[in-house]
């Protein structure tokens, strides 16, 4: 028995090491245009992920081991330049622009390019950053809390791209570590096995996309989980504050506000909603200027109307209406309305017997299924919430969505709609199966 326990532990340590080595190689050397190598690395990581989950669930593992191993793997990636996304150039641009006391919601990079003086900072933007930006004609779509992180990093990093990346990745690792700790605390509060935190802690998509490629979902997830943890402990005021901060990182948690009426008395739910929205409003105050906040929401809306990637219901409706332009515009306007009505029905329906966290997972899922654009890293909040529920479809989705990187295998970039169709056919089948079983278990 002692030999079996030791053997299991040694196997787990070997899996950590091998996972870390492959993750490091993937993040440092694999280009998104090399689909075969990319999907081979992702598949290898998911295989190791499955073996790790099996080992962790069959062992009595300390929470400290999950935290140390997960953070250790992420630390291996902090010196690598992101390889699957160029969004970090926009983070650097916004940060430097803020240090020059220019409002990133008031001016587009395209407009600012020739407006700077001859300082070293403006030269850094013009020569090193601008050429690598995408969507230079758009105002920043990154909310205030993101801007504060970008600005703080830019003050320290100066004109070094590498230092910007290093500091941004360090921030992501810290938020990720916090999220894993919070997941463990939430699981303990709900009297669930702490081993379930491993679903998020070692998920390859989470590690490669959030730390490896610097996406702000890491920060949003941390503040959302902190809010949920405080809510579970009936600390309503701090829960509201951190929910507001989470929204000020990424607007997605706005969708969860109606669900508060299911868990709390009306007066408590209203108090949290008002305070959270007040925090969001306050966060925008430093950037308030005539028209600049409107610019932010206009760019945000145009982003989702102009760009299309890996969509589900939206692509299906476009196909049904044969890509007719007028119908496409109508679909883009109607889907958000249908989604909003559906969320409200879920929030106030007495027939739905699901807890707040499972409903939050459902709402996020519905949003992504109705979206025009679903990049792989968008799924990371689902994986965090999945760790606290009995549903597992988002883990499968986090693997299936990796195949959408085949888009970058073509020049010019072109989606492979057969891959997208297979992704969603499998996903919908698993979702229906899981919710059917969930419904049976509730009855």
CB 220 within 8 A of CB 377: no
Query: Can you say whether the dihedral through the CA atoms of 291, 292, 293, 294 is positive or negative?
Result: positive
- Local confidence band at 1 (pLDDT 50, 70, 90 cut-offs): very low
DSSP 352: -
**Tens digits of residue pLDDT in 126-168:** 999 999 998 899 999 999 999 999 999 999 999 999 999 999 9
Res 3: pLDDT: 42
Phi then psi dihedrals of residue 47, to 5 deg: -65, -45
CB 84 within 8 A of CB 409: no
Res 443: pLDDT: 62
> At residue 84, does pLDDT exceed 90?
yes
Q: For residues 373 and 218, what is the distance between their CA atoms, to the nearest angstrom?
A: 19
Q: Which of 140, 142, 101, 107 is nearest to 121 (CA)?
A: 101
- Please give the average per-residue pLDDT across 352-376, as a whole number: 95
- Local confidence band at 388 (pLDDT 50, 70, 90 cut-offs): very high
| Residue whose tokens read 């400290």 | 64
- Please give the average per-residue pLDDT across 396-401, as a whole number: 98
% pLDDT > 70, the chain: 97
**Which range among 26-40, 298-312, 422-436 shows the weakest confidence by mean pLDDT?**
298-312
> At residue 325, does pLDDT exceed 90?
no
CB 178 within 8 A of CB 43: no
**Tens digits of residue pLDDT in 214-256:** 999 999 999 999 999 999 999 999 999 999 999 999 999 999 9
Q: For residues 131 and 91, what is the distance between their CA atoms, to the nearest angstrom?
A: 14
Res 119: pLDDT: 80
| Residue whose tokens read 């081991």 | 65
- Please give the average per-residue pLDDT across 107-124, as a whole number: 86
Query: What is the token pair recorded at 267?
Result: 């007066």
> At residue 435, does pLDDT exceed 70?
yes
**Which range among 190-194, 210-214, 240-244, 296-300 shows the weakest confidence by mean pLDDT?**
296-300
Res 54: pLDDT: 96
Query: What are the sequence ranges of the domains in the chain?
Result: 294-442
Q: For residues 285 and 297, what is the distance between their CA atoms, to the nearest angstrom?
A: 15
Res 159: pLDDT: 96
- Local confidence band at 290 (pLDDT 50, 70, 90 cut-offs): low
| pTM of this structure | 0.95
Res 298: pLDDT: 78
More confident residue, 326 or 218: 218
Q: For residues 34 and 37, what is the distance between their CA atoms, to the nearest angstrom?
A: 6
CB 108 within 8 A of CB 136: yes
Mean confidence (pLDDT) of the chain: 94
% pLDDT > 90, the chain: 82
Q: For residues 192 and 270, what is the distance between their CA atoms, to the nearest angstrom?
A: 29
Q: Is the peptide bond before 195 cis (omega within 30 degrees of 0)?
A: no
> At residue 98, does pLDDT exceed 90?
yes
> At residue 34, does pLDDT exceed 80?
yes
> At residue 368, does pLDDT exceed 60?
yes
> At residue 27, does pLDDT exceed 90?
yes
> At residue 4, does pLDDT exceed 70?
no
More confident residue, 307 or 191: 191
Q: Helix, strand, or coil here: 81?
A: coil
């Amino acid at each position: 028995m002692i030999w079996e326990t030791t053997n299991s532990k040694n196997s787990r340590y070997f899996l950590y090491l091998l996972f870390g080595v492959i993750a490091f190689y993937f993040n440092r050397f694999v280009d998104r245009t090399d689909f075969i190598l990319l999907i081979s690395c992702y598949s290898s990581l998911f295989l190791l992920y499955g073996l790790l989950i099996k080992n962790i669930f069959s062992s009595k593992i300390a929470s400290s081991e999950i935290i140390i191993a997960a953070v250790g793997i992420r630390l291996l990636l902090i010196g690598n330049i992101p390889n699957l996304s160029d969004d970090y150039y926009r983070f650097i641009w916004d940060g430097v622009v803020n240090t020059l006391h220019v409002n990133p919601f008031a001016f587009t990079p395209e407009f600012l390019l020739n407006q700077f003086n001859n300082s070293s900072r403006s030269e850094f933007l013009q020569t090193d950053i601008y050429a690598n930006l995408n969507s230079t004609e758009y105002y920043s779509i990154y909310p205030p809390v993101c801007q504060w992180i970008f600005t703080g990093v830019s003050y320290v990093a100066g004109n070094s791209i590498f230092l910007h990346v290093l500091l941004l990745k360090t921030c992501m690792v810290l938020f990720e570590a916090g999220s894993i700790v919070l997941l463990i605390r939430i699981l303990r509060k709900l009297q669930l096995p702490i081993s379930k935190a491993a679903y998020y802690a070692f998920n390859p998509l989470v590690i490669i996309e959030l730390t490896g490629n610097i996406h702000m979902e890491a920060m949003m997830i941390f503040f959302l989980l902190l809010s949920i943890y405080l809510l579970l402990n009936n600390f309503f005021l701090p829960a509201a504050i951190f929910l507001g901060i989470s929204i000020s990182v990424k607007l997605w948690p706005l969708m969860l506000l109606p669900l508060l009426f299911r868990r709390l008395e009306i007066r408590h739910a209203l108090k949290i909603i008002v305070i959270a929205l007040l925090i969001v409003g306050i966060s925008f105050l430093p950037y308030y200027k005539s028209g600049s906040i409107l610019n932010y929401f206009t760019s945000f809306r145009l982003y989702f109307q102009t760009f299309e990637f890996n969509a589900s219901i939206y692509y299906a409706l476009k196909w049904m209406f044969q890509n007719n332009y007028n119908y496409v515009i109508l679909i883009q306007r109607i889907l958000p309305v249908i989604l909003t009505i559906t969320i409200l029905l879920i929030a106030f329906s007495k027939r739905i017997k699901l807890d707040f966290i499972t409903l939050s997972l459902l709402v996020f899922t519905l949003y992504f299924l109705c979206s025009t654009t679903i990049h792989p890293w968008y799924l990371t909040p689902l994986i965090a919430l999945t760790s606290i529920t009995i549903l597992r479809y988002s883990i499968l989705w986090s693997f299936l969505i990796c195949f959408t990187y085949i888009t970058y295998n073509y020049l010019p970039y072109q989606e492979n709609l057969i891959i997208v169709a297979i992704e969603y056919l499998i996903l919908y089948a698993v979702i229906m199966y899981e919710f059917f079983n969930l419904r049976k278990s509730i009855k």
